[in-house]
Amino acid sequence: MRSTRVLALTALLATTSTGCVVARVAGGGIASFFSAPKPVEKEKQPVRPDARLAVTWVGHATALVQIGDKVVLTDPVFTSTVGQLSKRLYEPGIDPADLPPVDVVLVSHLHFDHLSLGSLATIEPKVRQAVLPPTGLRYLTDFGFPALELRPWQSWERDGLRVTAVPVAHVGYRYGVDREHMDEGFTGYVVEADGLSVYFGGDTAYDQRLFLETASRFHDIEVALLPIGPIEPRSFMRDYHADPHEALQAFLDLGAKHMVPVHYDTFVNSTDEPGACLRELELAQKRWKIAPRDVVPLRIGERRVFVKRGEGAAKAPATKPAASDDD
């Protein structure tokens, strides 16, 4: 069984050419591929009038961030599979029809479970702007919304909303034959509006130098959206994906007030057992002695308000943009 599992993992890696799409080849994983995604309690009204900063986890790396009067959507994936191989285990926590107008879509990298062209087509009328990493535009087909690429420390700004690309540790190619993009087609982001900052790590391995550098430029990150999986097989994943212990260390490095874990238990994309990432996260919290209120796992479809309207005074953004689409 073990040799069959390794061969299957190797074959799927070769087929998809992404570190994100690895199938958990076991009885439960195979069975899930032929079953419908499990229903969840979905958020029907993603924007709350009393919220200054709120996060709704849609599943995987997809989150709706309400910051000030702006709406940000990270790595939107609403399809039932990615790369036609990795199966969604749970329905998205928001139906695309219930999405409000989205001020900016953030795409962290080019893998199928983060840059989902089918999902972008579904939500196209609601997207006002898309931001991608370097080389991302060549994979974006003919959509009706404006899009641009940002390199590390470059910023895009409009109407009080600022997005800055920040460096992370991952890989950027999409099809396997485009490995020239391997070292540049990925990024994280810091979003600033209404005097608040939110960090989105996309996919990243643990690289303390990068997190500390981001923290040196952004001193008041309110919420960090950080991936906590896949964990296994660790010998392969550690170069591309932080595990829960490393994600918490990144949270501490960033100096953020709160952490929302993402990128787990949504697709069949690793050898992890369901629930493994959250169990390890709980162990890591005890190890680092981090208060439960500081790390906020959300159910798919759950929203958490971190700052209510009227709480705290708005202040100037923490950084000066290095570059803008208006330059």
What confidence category does residue 9 fall into, taking pLDDT thresholds of 50, 70 and 90?
A: very low
Q: What is the pLDDT of residue 32?
A: 56
Q: Do 29 and 88 contact (CB within 8 A), yes or no?
A: no
Any domain includes 321:
no
Task: Answer yes or no: is 272 within a domain.
Answer: yes
The answer to whether residue 70 is domain-embedded is: yes
Domain count, the chain: 1
Percent of the chain's residues with pLDDT above 90: 65
Burial of 310 (0-12, 13-18, 19+ CB in 10 A): exposed
| Cβ contact 313:195 at 8 Å | yes
Is 326 inside any structural domain? Answer: no
Residue 150 lies in a domain: yes
317 within some domain: no
pTM of the model: 0.86
Tell whether the model's pLDDT for residue 131 goes beyond 50. Answer: yes
Query: Which pLDDT band holds residue 184 (cuts at 50, 70, 90)?
Result: confident
Q: How far apart are CA 221 and CA 224, in angstroms?
A: 7
Convert the pLDDT of each residue in 52-63 to its tens digit.
Answer: 999 999 999 999
User: Can you give the residue range of the structural domain that contains 177?
Assistant: 2-308
Residue 77 lies in a domain: yes
**CATH, residue 144:** 3.60.15.10
Beta strand residue intervals within 194-316, DSSP E: 196-200, 221-227, 258-262, 303-308
Asked whether the predicted pLDDT for residue 317 surpasses 80, the reply is no
Alpha-carbon Rg for the chain in angstroms: 18
- Please state the rounded mean pLDDT for residues 247-261: 97
Q: Does the residue 52 lie in any domain?
A: yes
